[in-house]
A and B are shown apart, each in its own frame.
Chain A
Amino acid sequence: MRYWYLALAAGTLAAADPSYINDIVPVLQKNCVGCHQGSMKSAGLDLTSYEAFKKGGKQGDGFAQTIRYLTGEAKPSMPLGQPLLKAEIIDKFKAWVKIGAPDDSPKVESKLAPGKYSLPPVVTALRWSPDGKRLAVSGNGEVLIHSVAGEQTKLEQRLLGKSERILSIAWSKDGKLLVAGGGTPARFGEVQWWDSSSGQMLRATELPNDTVFGASLSPDGSKVAVGCTDNTVHAFETASGKELYKIGSHENWVLGTVFSADGKRLVSVGRDRAAKIMDASLGQFLENANTTQKSELNAVARHPAKDIIVMGGEDRYPYIYSMDRTRNMRVGDDAMFIQQLDRQDGVILALDWSPDAKRIAVAGASSKVNLYDADTGKPVASCSGHDAGIYAVAFSPDSKTLATGGFDGKIRLYRASDCLALTSFVPVPLEQATGGGQ
């Protein structure tokens, strides 16, 4: 266990009194929160926390109204479409409200300690520092920073945070700032700002409900954009961690974002198959880049200097688009489309454009990474070695090395010109198995 839970004294309750944490929460969890949760909120009601329960939904007063629905006094009776709960359970609810609905849930404070690994976790994000000397890699509840010198690598730092999964990593141009986006699935999302030299967390901002995807840093480092499961793009200010705006123009989860070269615009892609161009300072939707895509999009990357993007997903084709149209808009016109690359052997999950602008790396559910000439779209090389699919690819700043990671939990470094395998390593410190089980 990575956390040290410290349960503080939970108030004094008479032994026979009904308890929120022991009597109420289990019932809510089994019967109610499927519909009354943060991401669904049927009737506006969220029953996943004491505060939200108390606040209630559209009908107001969470406690009193809930009892009316549980007893069938209000229709339709709850749980919806099921018989009423047993009378003694409903009586517990009533008794608990009668004594003032006390919140006896233990106040949890967690202190972070470095995790132990018996198996390597999947690698979901990796990024080179601008000087090419360090590689930041996702771990379980942490970002691990390795120094890389030729084929020699060494674990230098472990940045422990609250988020279980780190799904994207970005460095500022000067290499001082490291941003990590992620969260814990179906629980919360988080953006973390780190001082990369000291390994100190500068700040973190949490979002409710679920992880954030495809975090990207604006070229000047002042803003971070993330995609969310509530179909929005959020942007935060690096200096304060404050939310600048959120944009709700997608119709499904947003999985990737990237800023334009000048930082004035940003593109987001997602499961709604759309690539949307936004005004990055105002937080307003400008236009769709693609109009004919039929595939859910998982990843997006930009040309190092120009406003040209490559994106891909479910249908396995990498698509190259311009962020600027060359002619006036017409209905159904795909004017910004430039080129389509080869169909991949699996769904596309990760893309990168080399800093020298010459290469595009495409990876996903296949165990190979394919490299393409960014000007002609012709395949250049194919890097193999992983046991299974790949979730993250990154070119080194000098464009000479490609780092990859995925399901098998290993990092592989390839020579970017011909895919020669340079080295591979497990990025987390492995321990002897302590014999599974719960």
Chain B
Amino acid sequence: MAEITMTQALNLAIDEAMAEDDGVFCLGEDVAAKQGGGVFKITSGLTEKYGENRIRATPISETAIIGAAVGAALAGQRPIAEIMLMNFVGVCMDQIVNHAAKLRFMSGGQTPCPIVIRTTTGVGVGFGGQHSDMLEAWFAHVAGMHVVTPSNAADARGLMRSAIDANDPVVFIENILCYGLTSEDPGPGYRVPLGKAAVAKEGTDISLITYGRTVLDALEVAGELEKEGISVEVIDLRTIAPYDEATVLASVNKTGRALTLHEAVRPFGTGAEIAANIQEKCWDKLKGPVRRIGGTFSAVPFATHLEQAWIPQKSDIVNQIKVSVGKA
């Protein structure tokens, strides 16, 4: 079967959802054919098929973009709104948090808000302090929405279809460095359910819980440590919130040790929530403290060596695992 990149996977998922349902449409800055189909080409070729009403290139107006998505969703459509880079959510948090996430609840269930907010980010491409942050914890802290991020192309295709199907807002985070990753194409109609983690690698000594780009680091480290006799189980959350607690707890109950890993800064990150939950629910199975790795607690720096030093280091993942299993 053919291989596809994550870029192609996302494009295919959106394309087939638009073909099946006239209510699905995209809006965002530069997304239409005239502008080249999006800065990362995710909506490339779709204007030609579905027209400019369904691939709406917008002004640089994040509040208006998300507001429009919210309104259209209330009227029964399924908008896919693109916020070009994740830091720009700062411009439209009111629409996302006070409106999209809360309208189902505040209306007593009358007005669900099925929107997908696609957004891109990632450390390691030299974009500096305002174009690189992973801000998933901001949204994970808000009731009424799903937060999703794929670590491979096949999951990207399946998670995007499920995000478009969902009857609630979904923040869909794409990591710039993952767009070129390839998978075997899972084919049309493929879905990965929201709220379901994947055991990316089975292991017995420690559970390494992560998502997005750092799944790649986790798998690489797990492969190396296997040679040293340390068996690491890698959990790819895929849905960050609400996350698959059952899979995480089952893994930790088996291994007795846990390490959380994310690119986002460590303090008050999603890893802290997951670690606290593990300590409450797996206490009698734990052989040691749950440890956390995250990005450095500063703005993402520009100079390449600074940026590389900012990111969670593979050597640190190795060290933390070795400390946890008593082989430091």
The judgment on whether A and B are partners is: no
